[in-house]
């Protein structure tokens, strides 16, 4: 006797909620990134929040839909993050100081405050964390 096939019903709430939550979470992740070089936060936690927002989209829609949405694949994002973090340390070497010495621009910008190599390092970590988390989770989701 053949058993009837179970049909999975997709939730209507999750895709709708994701459309509203994803931009807010991405904006919050940028806030955490920019706040991090002066206070609690930074590239790591900002990258985790951004990757969580993007994976929420993959759960609501599909991993293929997220790959189509991303302007850059996760693997090159990892490389770009590593390169930015390395460059932030080499800026100090180029100016005759030890590797990873923090250097800042003299005049602070109105919204961002003091910019310097710690922020560049945080941006590198931000891209690295987003790339690694998406790479791992999309690989698991597609298998």
User: Is residue 28 one of the residues assigned to a domain?
Assistant: yes
User: Is residue 42 one of the residues assigned to a domain?
Assistant: yes
User: Is residue 4 one of the residues assigned to a domain?
Assistant: no
Q: Who's near 135: CB < 8 A, 6+ residues apart?
A: 74, 75, 78
User: Is residue 7 one of the residues assigned to a domain?
Assistant: no
Give pLDDT, residue 36: 79
Q: Give strand pairing partners of 44.
A: none
3-state class (DSSP) for residue 130: helix
Task: Decide which of 115 and 129 is more confident.
Answer: 129
Burial class of residue 99, CB neighbours in 10 A (0-12, 13-18, 19+): exposed
Per the structure, the complete domain to which residue 87 belongs is given by 13-142
Say yes or no to pLDDT of 37 above 70.
no
Rg of the chain in Å (alpha carbons): 19
Give the residue-averaged pLDDT of 59-88: 95
User: Is residue 8 one of the residues assigned to a domain?
Assistant: no
Give pLDDT, residue 142: 81
């Amino acid at each position: 006797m053949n058993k009837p096939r179970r049909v999975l019903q997709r939730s209507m709430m999750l895709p709708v909620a994701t459309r509203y939550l994803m931009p807010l979470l991405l904006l919050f992740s940028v806030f955490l990134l920019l706040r991090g070089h002066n206070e609690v936060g930074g590239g790591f936690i900002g990258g985790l929040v951004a990757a969580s927002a993007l994976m929420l989209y993959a759960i609501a829609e599909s991993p293929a839909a997220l790959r189509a949405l991303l302007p850059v694949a996760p693997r090159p994002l990892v490389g770009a993050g590593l390169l930015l973090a390395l460059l932030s340390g080499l800026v100090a070497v180029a100016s005759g100081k030890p590797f990873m010495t923090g250097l800042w621009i003299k005049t602070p910008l109105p919204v961002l405050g003091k910019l310097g190599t710690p922020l560049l390092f945080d941006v590198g970590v931000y891209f690295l964390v987003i790339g690694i988390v998406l790479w791992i989770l999309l690989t698991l989701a597609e298998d």
